Chains A and B, each alone.
Chain A
Amino acid sequence: MIAALSSEWLKLRTTRTLFWLLVALSALMTLIVVAGVIGSQKHSITSAKDQLDLLGIGSLGIFIALIMGLIVSTGEFRHGTITPTLLATPSRTSIVIAKALAGMFFAVALVGLAEGLVALELAIALPAKGVDFAIQGGPAAGFIGRILIAAALWGALGSGIGIVIRNQIGAVVASFAWLFIAEGLIIAILHSNAINSNAGRFFPFQATGAILTNGSRNSADILSAGGGMAALGGWMALFTIAAVVLLSRRDVS
């Protein structure tokens, strides 16, 4: 398992994928932070809470974490490297777990760097706009910690989805279609008078929202941060188990 994990680590470090994801994420973060600070009224970004919301821009990196998890797995099928991977590590369970862990680690690293960049940019941009940097260490650490946990879960979830779907473009399209279309649609149906269920709060995007907002929305429609982690962890476990079962049963030809 350690050898497989070490190999996954080396795989990601020896292509330019990680570098370009980091560049894309940094550019995106910078753009949003600059637009957010410039476009806001001074009074709306003065309090520590407002600035913590700006720090939350880094949580968009979670989508990059998902993409990274998907690439970790689908890249093997896209380039045919799954064959040498299985020859070197015949235990398919070990491969799935190693990929999930690799997805987690790299997601945390990417989103961690993104958060660091956002914090640095805020520390420069806010005083430049004449606003004191008011973010306190404690609340910021807790908030960033929750973002990193969500990123880790999405990285692992992405790697599981990637093994289940295998086709890289298909996996990316399916994942984002779920996040931005299907999940909302199903929740709307569940909320309809005929069904009237709030089961949608357990869905991945909603669970992520719960982790990031720390259950501060006063609603039965959202889980607590811990509940969100448990729900998202459940999805991750579900797709990891599905990946183990499918990869073990499938022929690689």
Chain B
Amino acid sequence: MIAVEDLRKRYGKTQAVDGLSFTVEPGRVVGFLGPNGAGKTTTLRILLGLVHANSGQATILGKRYSQLERPFCQVGAVLEASGFHPGRKARNHLRVLARAGHAPAKRVDEVLATVGLEGAAKKRVGGYSLGMRQRLALASALLGDPGVLILDEPANGLDPEGIRWLRDFLRSLAAEGRAVLISSHVLSEVEQTVDEVVIINKGKLVAHGSVEELKRGKDGRVRVASPQAKALEEKLAKAGFVVTEDGEALLVAGATSAQVGEIAASSSLVLHELTPLATQLEDVFLDLTSEEKT
């Protein structure tokens, strides 16, 4: 649905995007992560036809954005919480876009209600808070009822309630079969929202996979305690996991709690403790991007 293939973009001496490739499938929420200056926004802008790539392909639904039949109704985008005329009322901002993008006029009030701005629809955007602007940007993206959403830092400026709303909202969009590509630096929020992540650094792909895969691949461990520790250690080792002792418990590397629990159950071994040693996405992210830096 979204395909980036060997994408390259150079600004003067800076290689902003350097041979980047990844895909986003329908019904998936994909986090697009990277430190500041990693090339996230440039990549998203190339996808949306706002920035010209030096080489490579960036397509949505198999075509470049500008070649889509009705791009505004096929792809919704939030790129920044600006992009509003401060003297224009929110409802009129959406009417302008709906008219240009061939979206039905009735969608204006629908999306205002969806993002909770119906009460402020007739206020000029200049009087909006950052959170309200972010909601209005989301409303703009949803105007055409698109199957693909590309969101650059959509949680910026939202209060905790708004962030929770956004998280649930993005999940509901993905459940409807839409593809969502969301860039963010609020990693803890992305972790709770996305199915998979694409991590880039210095314009290059560093990692792409599900959050669980990345955590497990990097430092996923499970702490398990059993009165039959020796037998359990043998079974786990036989299953290919690396097991080390941790006091009276065992540390199993590269395994999930479910895998360890199933192995214990299949051998009728009693467990006193089964604790996944959670690795935060932030840790994975920092590890991957700092490795790349060195």
Contacts and interface: CB of A to CB of B under 8 A. Distances in A.
Q: Is chain B a partner of chain A in the same complex?
A: yes
Nearest to A83: B83
Contacts of B80: 80, 83
Contacts, number: 83
Given A6-B99, A15-B85, A81-B84, A87 B51 contact: no
A249 B51 CA distance: 9
Contact of B100 (A3, A14, A16): A3
A16 B51 contact: no
A244 to B, nearest CB: 14
A124 interface: no
Contacts of B82: 79-80
A6 B98 CA distance: 11
A10 B99 CA distance: 9
A85 B49 CA distance: 12
Shortest beta-carbon contacts, A-B, top 10: A7-B100, A88-B101, A88-B100, A14-B92, A90-B66, A251-B51, A252-B50, A80-B82, A7-B99, A15-B87
A100 to B, nearest CB: 16
Interface string A83-126: 11111111100000000000000000000000000000000000
Contacts of B77: 87
A129 interface: no
B123 interface: no
Contacts of A87: 48, 50, 71-72, 77, 101
Contacts of A7: 96-97, 99-100
Interface of A: 3-4, 6-7, 10-11, 14-17, 75, 79-81, 83-91, 249, 251-253
Contact of B45 (A3, A15, A253): A253
Given A79-B83, A79-B84, A88-B72, A252 B102 contact: no
Interface in B68-122: 68, 71-72, 77, 79-80, 82-89, 92-93, 95-97, 99-102
A76 to B, nearest CB: 9
A168 to B, nearest CB: 13
B85 A79 contact: yes
B41 A253 contact: yes
A81 B85 contact: yes
A233 B63 CA distance: 38
Given A14-B96, A91-B66, A252 B85 contact: no
Given A10-B95, A10-B99, A90 B71 contact: yes
A253 B52 CA distance: 10
Contact of A3 (B79, B93, B101): B101
Contacts of B51: 251-253
Nearest to B9: A251
Nearest to B95: A10
Given A10-B95, A14-B88, A80-B80, A90 B100 contact: no
Nearest to B144: A88
Contacts of B59: none
B50 A11 contact: no
Nearest to A76: B85
Interface string B32-75: 00000000011001001111100000000000011010011000
Nearest to A252: B50
B89 A80 contact: no
A83 B87 contact: no
Contacts of B97: 7, 84, 88
B64 to A, nearest CB: 9
A10 B96 contact: yes
A89 B80 CA distance: 18
A10 to B, nearest CB: 5
A251 B71 contact: no
A247 B145 CA distance: 28
Given A83-B50, A251-B50, A252-B50, A15 B100 contact: no
Interface in B114-157: 140
A14 B99 contact: no
A79 B99 contact: no
Contact of A14 (B66, B95, B140): B95
Given A3-B100, A86-B49, A87-B71, A10 B92 contact: yes
Contacts of A75: 85
A253 B93 CA distance: 20
Contacts of A89: 100-101
Contacts of B86: 79
Nearest to B76: A87
Given A90-B49, A90-B71, 11 more contacts: A10-B99, A11-B96, A80-B84, A81-B84, A83-B50, A87-B48, A88-B100, A90-B68, A252-B50, A253-B45, A253-B50
A45 B42 CA distance: 64
Contacts of A15: 85, 87-88
